[in-house]
Structure 1
Amino acid sequence: MPLSMTGLGIVTMLSQVHADYWLAGTVAATFVFCNALLAPQVSRLVDRFGQGRVLLPAALASALAMSALLLCTHYRAPNAWLYLFALLAGAMPSMPAMVRARWTELYRGSPKLHTAFSFESVMDEVCYIIGPVLAVSLSVGWFAEAGPLLATLFLVAGVSLFSLQRGTEPPLHAHPRRRAGSALAYPAVRVLALVLAAIGVIFGAVEVVSVAFAEAHGNKAAASLVLSVYAVGSCLAGLLFGLLRWRLALSRQLLCMVTLMALSLMPLLGVESILALALTVLVAGFSVAPTMILAMGLVERAVDPARLTEGLTWAITGLGIGMALGSALAGWVVEGYGAASGFLVAVG
């Protein structure tokens, strides 16, 4: 929940206080990209020293930096301080990777792992449905810093409770001598991170263009409905996919899902109403959660247990970087060529 609330929460907070969307967007982007770089390093420390010794200090460091960012915003400190604390707040650990590492330790080699990954993907979607809406609603309806503040409280409380669950904490594994350094040494991790980055571009573009498209049709509030329908389609597919057992190799399944995703996005180029857009993204959402489930499963099979958390984090990080790039590129296209043209970013 904290990660789903923080980026948009920063944008909403700064745009209200400073009335400057460029500042708001670049500070939020600083957080996103620094988290993309720092979260895998936190996960690498987790693989080496254990979740119990690393997670809470990392979460507290991120929370302190975020608190400083909120104070600097409230008291209108120079902009340089906003960027500095957004950078430091990027030390926020990747909790989706931590949870999946625990499921892997519990069910490695069992069909139950597929079901567990499916459940986690659905929960991720639920967080990304609720989180942004909650962050914006609090910052607009209460006070500007309320959204990021609640995200910070969720981070500290959630990581504290998670760290207390010692019974499911993965044990430390000996690091294989044949592969030193980062989990990126595994070709599969690099490929999957790039694949998820490309998918992230789609997500980011659809999010931005849906807002612009709805506004162009005189109903900006309908954008939240469109994006919720997109996530609901993904949730339903994730639940169903978790119940099924496929004989096809995971890599072939992933190829099929990516192909299905590409084909399902093509109708976006012809949508002319908000209803048509909602129906199109509902169908397109059916391939989202299964793709994430398969990607996590491939990482689990590709890397040694001593690199698992870092490997999962790099894959998830690829998705986040892609979303940031997709949002920026789609925004530029929409500004220059109109809302409907922005869908070319997702389809292309």
Structure 2
Amino acid sequence: MQNPYSEIFRAPGARGFAAAGFMARLPIAMAPIGIVAMLSQTRGEYWVAGAVSATFALANAFLAPQISRLVDRLGQTRVVVPTTIISVLAFAALIASANQDWPVWTLFASALLAAAMPSMPAMVRARWTEIFRGRPEMNTAFAFESAADELVYIAGASLSVGLSAALFPEAGVAVSTLFLALGSTAFILQRSTEPQVRPVDHGSSGSAIRLGPVQIITFAMIFIGATFATTEVSTVAITKELGQPGTASLVIGVYALGSFVLGIIIGALNLKAPLQRQLAIAVALVALGTLLPLTASTVPALALTVFISGVAISPTFITAFGLIERHVPEAMLTEGITWVTTGIGIGMALGSFAAGAVVDAFGAQNGFWVSVTSGAIALITVLLGQRSLATHECELEGCEAAIPAE
């Protein structure tokens, strides 16, 4: 039996844009925590550090779909180049503001401009779709990208904090900015795999978020993202309560590892069940898994239950992106994918906030109830949306979905 992952990388240019895309998306994980690490050391005030980081994350969540919509209209090169330049210069200004003790408003202004960073996961998936549209290999490619996303979050955050602690406060953000500049440049230079710009017609002239399936999937992913973030926050709190705070990173790594492993396996299989049913099963497993950490009273038990609860995260992302590809017109694919990643990011931000508040008020273990609630809402959303998410033959052949024109 041939390795399906070796098969997808035989496509001309695939290795190059996948590697460049991986480097260019590291800032997704490195920048927010790097900003906190940098400003907490240089300013000595955690509220400023957290507020600036949140400003960047939320502004990027708002801007990314708009930037991706321009990408669909104008092409990757014409949009990614200027937005990356703006983001890189803004990160440089943010580093200078922290290092030179400039006024606080310069930190927020720089963070807002840095949020112009384009959604590289969407750009990479758009290239895979251009190569494998309507073929089984696309599921494998999306599985690989979901696994890459997991590695980004595992390695990126740890690398950013480690650099700031070991070298100097600005090191994490500086290296993150370097990755953004070099990765984006290498990605854009590979013009042969850049998706062609599809003409805008009456069926694809509005925003992708106006499509029912995109709304359903994005809303569900907000709560899936919340379960992800809640588990991280609650794990930190519980390990501290148990007197072993140093084990938090290990437990969180195990959580992501479970998702990574099953995602790789799913990508190697050619599952025949309808994608909307696969999504419902994956989200149901996520929802059921959120109950397990409530039973953990030791670090080993926490690691085991967190590992099991995380295995369905990556399959959920794989099927969600697969459904987006089938329901969104080709002329707005990048924007459609970006809405899903934006939903995940918003969910992570809200989940962290909610879990922190619950932990402060009711104790570390009870933080996991935020995951339970979020998982249940995500499952109900997907189950109620099964009919809208059902893919029809014409969609599989690339027919245009209907969307109201603006």
Superposition map of 1:253-332 within 5 A: 253-332=278-357
Moved over 4 A (4+): none
Superposition map of 1:1-348 within 5 A: 1-348=26-373
Identify the range of structure 1 (301-310 vs 265-274) with the bigger mean alpha-carbon deviation: 265-274
CA distance in 2, matches of 1:167, 1:46: 16
1:178 offset after TM fit, Å?
Answer: 2.9
Q: What CA deviation, in whole Å up to 9, does each residue of 1:61-95 have, x standing for no partner? A: 01111111111111122212111111111111110
CA distance in 2, matches of 1:218, 1:44: 48
Q: Tell me if the contact between 1:103 and 1:116 (Cα under 8 Å) persists in the aligned partners.
A: yes
> Helix, strand or coil: the match of 1:298?
helix
> Helix, strand or coil: the match of 1:92?
coil
CA distance in 2, matches of 1:76, 1:209: 34
Root mean square deviation, CA, Å: 0.9
Tell me the TM-score normalized by structure 1.
Answer: 0.98
> Helix, strand or coil: the match of 1:221?
helix
1:279 partner amino acid: L
CA distance in 2, matches of 1:184, 1:285: 28
Q: What CA deviation, in whole Å up to 9, does each residue of 1:105-139 have, x standing for no partner? A: 10000000000000111111111111000000011
CA distance in 2, matches of 1:186, 1:118: 24
CA distance in 1, matches of 2:278, 2:42: 47
> Helix, strand or coil: the match of 2:370?
helix
1:346 partner amino acid: S
In the other structure, the counterpart of 2:395 is none
CA distance in 2, matches of 1:213, 1:17: 29
1:53 offset after TM fit, Å?
Answer: 1.2
1:25 offset after TM fit, Å?
Answer: 1.0
1:176 offset after TM fit, Å?
Answer: 2.4
Q: Tell me if the contact between 1:70 and 1:149 (Cα under 8 Å) persists in the aligned partners.
A: yes
Q: Which runs of 5+ in 2 are unaligned?
A: 1-25, 374-406
How high is the sequence identity, in percent, across the aligned residues? 49
In the other structure, the counterpart of 2:383 is none
Report how many residues are paired: 348
1:157 partner amino acid: L
Tell me the TM-score normalized by structure 2.
Answer: 0.84
CA distance in 2, matches of 1:274, 1:175: 54
Q: Tell me if the contact between 1:179 and 1:185 (Cα under 8 Å) persists in the aligned partners.
A: no
In the other structure, the counterpart of 2:394 is none
2:214 partner amino acid: V
1:48 partner amino acid: R
Identify the range of structure 1 (75-84 vs 39-48) with the bigger mean alpha-carbon deviation: 75-84
Identify the range of structure 1 (290-299 vs 244-253) with the bigger mean alpha-carbon deviation: 244-253
1:179 offset after TM fit, Å?
Answer: 3.8
CA distance in 2, matches of 1:102, 1:251: 23
